[in-house]
Each structure stands twice: as C-alpha cells, then as structure tokens.
Amino acid sequence: MEFSESLKSLRKEYKIDQNKLASELKVSPKTISHWETGYTEPSIAQLISLSKIFNVSLDELITGK
C-alpha cells in the first residue's frame, strides 16, 4: 500500500474529514487531498505529526503495513 492509500484509510478509520485533519496540521484541505491522491507528499515533520495523530509508526504510515 502506498502512503496516499494509507493516509486515506487511516483518516476514514478515525472518522476525520480532510478539513479537520488540515486544521490540525495547519495546512489547507487541498494539501490533504493532494497527499491522498499522490500528487504531493508531506514533509518529514508533517509525517511525524500524522503518525502521532493516528497513533501509528512512521513505517506503518508510509507503507501501510
């Protein structure tokens, strides 16, 4: 599983919409959409924040495993 799929899956599992996640990360909802479609990728700092929000390791977040 790619990062984009992993992020979307975790977001839906935690029942967080793109707007709320964007607000928590201080980015635009469009940025979240771009991450979920694979158009762009987050910075290392943003990946760390995402792993804390979803309570998963960076490896699990990035690979989905």
Structure tokens at 35: 């991450």
CB 36 within 8 A of CB 27: no
Residues 49-59 have a mean pLDDT of 95
Instruction: Kindly give, in sequence order, each residue whose CB lies less than 8 Å from that of residue 1, ignoring residues fewer than 6 positions away.
Output: 9, 63, 64, 65
Domains along the sequence of the chain with CATH: 3-63 (1.10.260.40)
Task: Please check the confidence at residue 1 and state whether its pLDDT lies above 80.
Answer: no
pLDDT in tens, 7-52: 999 999 999 999 999 999 999 999 999 999 999 999 999 999 999 9
- Per-residue pLDDT at 65 exceeds 90: no
